[in-house]
Chains A and B, each alone.
Chain A
Amino acid sequence: MSTINVKVAAIEAVTPLIKHFTLVHEDGSELPSFSGGSHIVVTMDAEGRTYRNPYSLMGSPTDTQAYHISVRRQESSRGGSLFMHEHVHVGMRLKITHPVNLFSLSKLAHKHILIAGGIGITPFMSQIEDLKRVGADYELHYAFRAYEQAAFVNELEEMCEGHLHCYADSQGERIDLNALLSQQPLGSHVYVCGPSPMVVAVLETARNLGWPENNIHNEEFSSPPVGEPFKVQLAKSDIEIQVPAEMSMLEAIEAAGVKADSLCRGGVCGRCELTVLETDGGIEHHDHYLSDSEKVSCRSIMPCVSRTKGKRLVLDL
């Protein structure tokens, strides 16, 4: 995939855990335009290893001078977010991919219900710009732990005017999904981005209320989970790779110099799908791409997020 060389133009601590990075083209030229909900993959060359993390673009899609991403410090996960927080400084060069949109707004929708949890607010920030530009009807429901830790509340209040609804867990405020999704006009679409339990709750509620699949959109905001180390054997390339606990299988494959396809790197798009030839411990599927029955069959794996529970895995690659 072709990459763009960018330079970090500014870093701002939005909350103690969230940093906002402004990226500009290395040579000062314009960046490709994008649509609301797009993400880029940032390549970070840390000592000894490479991280590739997807981040939503949260600036205005009409602004091609700079890209804006926000990164939440994830202590428990692998190093990508820590690297962004601790090692990336103003003036540093990074490689990013062209923006890709796997979470786009439906053009057919009459009303858009946007539901965000925590840092999952970022893709909506660029989408709101798009919605406002075309004058679309929308509501933004933003849930977070506490006001002190919530990012961009003031900006959003200004951007969304009356369309923003905030829910602070610390004050016992919760989104009543059933009430919210049972009273929407025909032609409504719902979009959710946030932690897994929230995404699952929204999908389930919408489906139970009879929302058609086409009207339900989600972008799970999860980086590859940490797991047990294991060995993966690539049958066609005829090599064996060690996947450390805090590295995704896709990253390990790439680090070994084997070409593997990927796009979202978040278990959503299906691009990285690989065929499993053998496994001794079953597969820990963390993706949102394979159907439940495909997951049970253990014939495919999405190496960007999924791992094996066993010690050994053989892939058709």
Chain B
Amino acid sequence: MVGSGAVLSVWLIEEINMERGYWIKSKPVYTSLKWHEKATSHLVLATGIGGMAVLKLFQQMHPTQPVKVLYGKYGQMDADYSDTLKMVVPEGLHIHKFDDALLTQFQLELRDAQMGLRIYVAGSEGFIWDVVAAAKPFGIQEMEIMKEQADTLARSVYCVHCKTISKYVTTNITACCGCERMLFVRDHFSRNLGAYMGLMVDAESPGELPAIEEIYP
């Protein structure tokens, strides 16, 4: 048994629409990384299994322009490509244990960078949008950053009620880490927040919840 009312209908409609191949425009589409032919330098960021996307980039070629690679050893999935990367990228590779340190270095690099620098990122969606957010103060627009989604499909979920973002949500319904409301994870994505909208699911009949399933492993 599920709840009733307006809130419920949102996710019902969404589920039906998804079945029919409906595509929500705000949902980002990611690509496979590929070098920009025209650039004066390249900056590649990746974590965990995203390291494979970096290796694939270097399979394409070693660009003539200067390249820097910032790699975070630990993504969500257990896959550390540090050793291989060290062999493939002899120069300009920086390995970090924590994403925070990686993002700090990223911003330091941007401070002195000039137009012509192209940015590439591979990792979980959460990591990708952390990078986007870190680049924004430097006047870099989201669409200028090439993005490959690797690693978990877990979503960052923005609670429309208390405005808290819960990170790495793998289920269709989740408890908001700010207000503990049960949120339905929508497909509607905000590029500014780097998160999917979360809407209270049992507003009208508290406690009556649809089955919680892991759909973003």
| Residue positions of A touching B, CB distance < 8 A | 108-110, 181-188, 207-212, 214-215
Contact = CB atoms under 8 A, between A and B. Distances in A.
Nearest to A187: B139
Interface of B: prevailing SS: loop
Nearest to B145: A212
B110 interface: yes
A186 to B, nearest CB: 5
B36 interface: yes
Interface string B105-122: 000001001111110000
Contacts of B7: none
Contacts of A182: 40, 114-116
A110 B135 CA distance: 13
A112 to B, nearest CB: 11
A187 B114 contact: no
Interface in B114-137: 114-118
B30 interface: no
Interface in B86-115: 110, 113-115
B100 to A, nearest CB: 21
B143 A208 contact: no
Interface of B: 36, 38-40, 110, 113-118, 138-141, 143-144
A16 B140 CA distance: 44
A209 B140 contact: no
Contact of B141 (A183, A188, A209, A214): A214
A210 B140 contact: no
B36 A210 contact: yes
B138 A210 contact: no
A108 B144 CA distance: 13
Nearest to A206: B115
A207 B141 CA distance: 16
Contacts of A185: 113-115
Given A186-B138, A186-B139, A187-B139, 18 more contacts: A108-B141, A109-B139, A110-B138, A182-B114, A182-B115, A184-B114, A185-B114, A185-B115, A186-B113, A186-B114, A187-B140, A208-B38, A210-B36, A210-B39, A210-B115, A210-B116, A210-B117, A212-B141
A186 B40 contact: no
A186 B115 contact: yes
B31 to A, nearest CB: 15
Nearest to B65: A210
A157 B115 CA distance: 27
A208 B116 CA distance: 9
What 10 A-B pairs are tightest by C-beta distance, nearest first? A187-B139, A210-B39, A210-B116, A110-B139, A212-B144, A184-B115, A209-B116, A186-B138, A210-B38, A188-B115
B180 to A, nearest CB: 37
Contact of B40 (A109, A210, A214, A215): A210
A215 B115 contact: yes
Contacts of A215: 115
13 contacts: A108-B139, A109-B139, A184-B115, A185-B113, A185-B114, A186-B117, A188-B139, A207-B38, A210-B36, A210-B38, A212-B141, A214-B141, A214-B144
B36 A186 contact: no
Contact of A209 (B40, B110, B113, B143): B40
